């Protein structure tokens, strides 16, 4: 069931809203000329009216019986913030230039996650466009936008949005987003949109005035869960499925990232995620282009990404937080919070080989057995990262890895990321060792809510035993601190780091052993006492061998990959601002070698063992 204001052209617009508990609903036209349009209710609780003399930009809201007017829950535009009227949008006005675009295959993606408000000084969709060419030349072919659904004010991560169909007005709204997507496609870049189907933000949340969108059967970190399996859940499920199809159809979005999908509680016969995947698959077949769904999920459960015919939900890929946690704890030595569960090279090797680190073992942090065996899941179904908005922004001081580890540690992290048989995600600025923090920020208009947010953040940080001065998320200065220092990418160590990432991406795309994201031709092993990890990928004559040293001291070892191997990259080379390599240009059978602290070296097979 299509919902919202569907502009049909020639001044005609069909309004549809779900309000099953109400007997009377009307469209209140606010401007340019006020008038009231009664709506007709169908058997499923949807109210409709086909209105004449409605032009794009018309402001409207819904009058729910004798109650106050409310904005459209499926509003396509909120020009006057979350409490104001909704606006009619004509989605046929855009002159698209991407008719020949078919998207980037998932297994080829190099994803770049960015926050629209802090990526440029202007903080708009269109301000990103001039940087697209450089990003593509660097190696990025997929940009993941943090949530852009209308939120209160103009400073927010996006996870407090309350209008999932309305691109944030201060970012440039519907028109600005379409221009960005069109320009990205012309540069050969897919656009992934982070969407939130597990909760709504607190301010401007009028959903309960319309229908039973929430249930008290389950509780989440945001209060009552969304109603995906109770009475009237059909309307809630339809709302979010329509939202997904809306982005693909009207904005030419290529993929969606589903935020915290483990908070979508549904014990019905068909889980909402499966129904969503089926609808997106049907659209893909209809359009002749594959649209992707990726999911954030904290359960390490393969059911999310297993095919539907194998009892899974059919989601294309999921974020693998365990990969990040292993790497982060190895590099920083941090053990608080969920890092308590990680910190060994053996775990890092398992992340390479299987994906999930916990596959049914006891988790000290969770105080329970956790995870499932992911060894049979293809590598391209895992998105991995060394940093992202959560892992940086949920720290009290918003520190990036740049603040936590040495320059050589940053290079080692880049190597682990780009040599993994998974889909890599780079957090904006990571590629040039950005040193601006990424903090949590909001601009709510409700002062009581601001205080609740402040106290909530302090409580979250207590779990990590973090000390230091609390940074106010409501402060404008907090937001301004997070803006990228984009010009740094061309100077000093920042320039070297960017070139290092770029070189790794080129190797990933040109070496057959790195190009294929399969696990069948992969070996990963560790020497725990020395903090060494050995990685071997490829088959026949196309193989690579990598030595990774997570030790803060140099280590002498005798790797035994067999055959003769030619060195093609060493992170400790002077070219990469290192101290100079101690490793041989050729690795011959079982040769004793010494590797510098927190470095890695990549070798390519020259001759097989005889």
Report residue 469 as tokens.
């001065």
Examine residue 464 and state whether it is found in any structural domain, yes or no.
yes
In this structure, is residue 95 part of a structural domain?
A: no
Mean pLDDT of the chain: 96
Query: Are both 465 and 538 inside the same structural domain?
Result: no
572 falls within a domain: yes
pLDDT one-digit tens code per residue, 56-102: 999 999 999 887 899 999 999 999 999 999 999 999 999 999 999 99
Last residue of a domain, one of 484, 508, 532: 508
Of 510, 583, 570, residue with least CA distance to 542: 510
The question of whether 467 is a catalytic residue gets the answer no
Both structure tokens of 171: 């970012």
Same domain, 299 and 404: yes
Find residue 27's DSSP bridge partners.
37, 62
User: What are the backbone angles phi and psi of residue 204, rounded to the nearest 5°?
Assistant: 85, 15
Residue finishing a domain among 41, 58, 87: 87
- The 8-class DSSP code of residue 231 comes to T
Does residue 464 have a pLDDT over 60?
no
Half-sphere exposure of 609 (CA within 13 A, CB side): 9
- Picking from 92, 1, 66, 279, the residue whose alpha carbon sits closest to that of residue 15 is 1
Q: Would you tell me how many other CB atoms lie within 10 Å of the CB of residue 526? A: 21
- Whether 515 maps to a domain, the answer reads no
Query: What CATH number is given to the structural domain containing 40?
Result: 2.60.40.10
- Which DSSP string do the residues of 284-315 spell out, in sequence order? HHHHTS--EEEE--SS--GGGTS-GGGTS---
- State residue 456's pLDDT score: 82
Q: Which two tokens stand for residue 272?
A: 């909402």
pLDDT tier at 474 (50, 70, 90 boundaries)?
very high
More reliable by pLDDT, 458 or 313: 313
The alpha carbon of residue 531 and the mean position of all alpha carbons in its chain are separated, in whole angstroms, by 30
Per-residue pLDDT band at 610 (split at 50, 70, 90): low
Residues 281 and 243 in one domain: yes
Residue 79 belongs to some domain of the structure: yes
Q: Which of 259, 434, 570, 604 is catalytic?
A: 259
Determine how many CB atoms are found less than 10 A away from the CB of residue 248.
20
Residue 97: inside a domain: no
pLDDT digits (tens, 9 = 90+) for 98-118: 999 999 999 999 999 999 999
Judge whether 206 lies within some domain.
no
Cβ-Cβ contacts under 8 Å for 291 (sequence gap 6 or more): 103, 248, 253, 254, 255, 256, 280, 283, 284
User: What mean pLDDT do residues 270-280 have?
Assistant: 98
Question: Is 80 exceeded by the pLDDT of residue 467?
Answer: no
Q: What is the DSSP letter of 260?
A: T
CATH number at residue 548: 2.60.40.1180
Mind spelling out the 3-state secondary structure of 20-83? CCCCCEEEEEEECCCEEEECEECCCCEEEEEECCCCCCCEEEEEECCCCEECCCCCCCCCCCCC
594 and 481 housed in the same domain: no
Catalytic residue among 229, 254, 296, 430: 296
Residue range(s) defining the domain that contains residue 408: 106-196+229-508
Radius of gyration of the chain (CA): 25
In this structure, the answer to whether residues 569 and 530 fall within a common structural domain is yes
Q: Are 252 and 98 spatial neighbours (Cβ–Cβ below 8 Å)?
A: yes
Q: How confident is the model at residue 462 (pLDDT cuts 50, 70, 90)?
A: low
How far is residue 330's CA from residue 200's CA, in Å, rounded to a whole number? 35
Name the band, by pLDDT with cuts 50, 70 and 90, for residue 465: very low
- Residue that is last in its domain, among 462, 486, 508: 508
The answer on 546 and 405 residing in a single domain is no
pLDDT given for residue 604 in this prediction? 97
Residue 316, helix vs strand vs coil: coil
The residue-averaged pLDDT of 383-393 equals 97
In a shared domain, residues 76 and 110: no
What mean pLDDT do residues 332-351 have? 96
CATH of the domain at 503: 3.20.20.80
Q: Burial of 553 by CB count in 10 Å (0-12 exposed, 13-18 middle, 19+ buried)? A: exposed
296 is catalytic: yes
pLDDT of residue 457: 80
What domain count does the chain have?
A: 3
Does residue 305 sit in the same domain as residue 448? yes
**Rounded Cα distance, 449 and 444, in Å:** 7
Q: Is residue 224 part of a domain?
A: no
Q: Are residues 130 and 258 in the same domain?
A: yes
């Amino acid at each position: 069931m299509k919902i919202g204001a569907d502009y049909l052209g020639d001044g005609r617009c069909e309004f549809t809203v779900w309000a099953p508990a109400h007997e009377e609903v009307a469209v209140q036209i606010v401007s340019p000329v006020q008038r009231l349009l009664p709506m007709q209710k169908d058997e499923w609780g949807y109210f409709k009216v086909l209105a004449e003399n409605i032009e794009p930009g018309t402001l409207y809201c819904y009058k729910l019986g004798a109650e106050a007017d409310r904005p459209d829950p499926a509003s396509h535009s909120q020009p006057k913030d979350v409490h104001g009227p909704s606006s009619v949008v004509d989605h046929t006005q855009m002159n698209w230039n991407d008719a020949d675009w078919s998207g980037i295959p998932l297994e080829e993606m190099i994803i770049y996650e960015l926050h629209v408000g802090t990526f440029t000084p202007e903080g708009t969709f269109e301000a990103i466009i001039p940087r697209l060419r450089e990003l593509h030349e660097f190696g990025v072919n997929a940009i993941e936008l943090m949530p852009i659904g209308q939120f209160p004010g103009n400073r927010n991560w996006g996870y407090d949005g309350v209008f999932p169909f309305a691109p944030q007005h201060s970012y440039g709204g519907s028109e600005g987003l379409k221009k960005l997507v069109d320009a990205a496609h012309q540069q050969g870049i897919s656009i992934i949109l982070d969407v939130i189907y597990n909760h709504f933000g607190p301010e401007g949340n009028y959903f309960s005035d319309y229908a039973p969108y929430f249930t008290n059967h389950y509780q989440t970190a945001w209060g009552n869960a969304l109603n995906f399996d109770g009475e009237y859940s059909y309307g809630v499920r339809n709302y979010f499925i329509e939202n997904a199809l809306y982005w693909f159809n009207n904005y030419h979005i290529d993929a969606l990232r589903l935020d915290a999908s483990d908070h979508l509680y549904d014990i019905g016969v068909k889980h909402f995620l499966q129904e969503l995947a089926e609808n997106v698959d049907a659209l893909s077949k209809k359009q002749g282009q594959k649209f992707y769904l990726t999911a954030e999920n904290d359960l390490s459960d393969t059911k999310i990404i297993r095919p539907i015919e194998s009892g899974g939900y059919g989601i294309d890929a999921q974020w693998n937080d365990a990969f990040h946690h292993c790497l982060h704890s190895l590099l920083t030595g941090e053990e608080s919070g969920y890092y308590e569960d990680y910190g060994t090279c053996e775990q890092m090797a398992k992340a390479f080989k299987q994906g999930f680190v916990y596959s049914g073992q006891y988790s000290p942090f969770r105080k329970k057995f956790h995870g499932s065996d992911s060894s049979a899941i293809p590598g391209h179904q895992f998105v991995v990262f060394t940093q992202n908005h959560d892992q940086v922004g949920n720290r009290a001081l918003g520190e990036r890895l740049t603040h936590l580890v040495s320059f050589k540690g940053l290079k080692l992290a880049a190597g682990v990321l780009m040599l993994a048989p998974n889909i890599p995600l780079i957090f904006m600025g990571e590629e040039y060792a950005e040193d601006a923090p990424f903090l949590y920020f909001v601009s709510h208009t409700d002062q009581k809510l601001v205080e609740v947010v402040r106290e909530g953040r302090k409580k979250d940080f207590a779990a990590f035993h973090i000390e230091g001065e609390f940074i106010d998320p409501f402060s404008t200065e907090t937001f301004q601190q997070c803006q990228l220092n984009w010009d740094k990418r061309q100077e000093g160590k920042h320039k070297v780091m960017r070139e290092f990432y770029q070189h790794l991406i080129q190797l990933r795309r040109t070496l057959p052993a790195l190009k294929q994201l399969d696990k069948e031709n992969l070996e990963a092993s560790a020497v725990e006492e020395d903090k060494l990890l050995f990685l071997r990928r490829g088959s026949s004559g196309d193989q690579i061998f990598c030595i990774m040293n997570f030790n803060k001291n140099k280590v002498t070892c005798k790797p035994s990959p067999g055959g003769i191997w030619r060195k093609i990259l060493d992170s400790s080379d002077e070219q990469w601002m290192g101290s100079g390599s101690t490793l041989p240009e050729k690795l011959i059978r079982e040769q004793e070698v010494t590797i510098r602290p927190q470095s890695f070296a990549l070798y390519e097979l020259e001759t097989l063992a005889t």
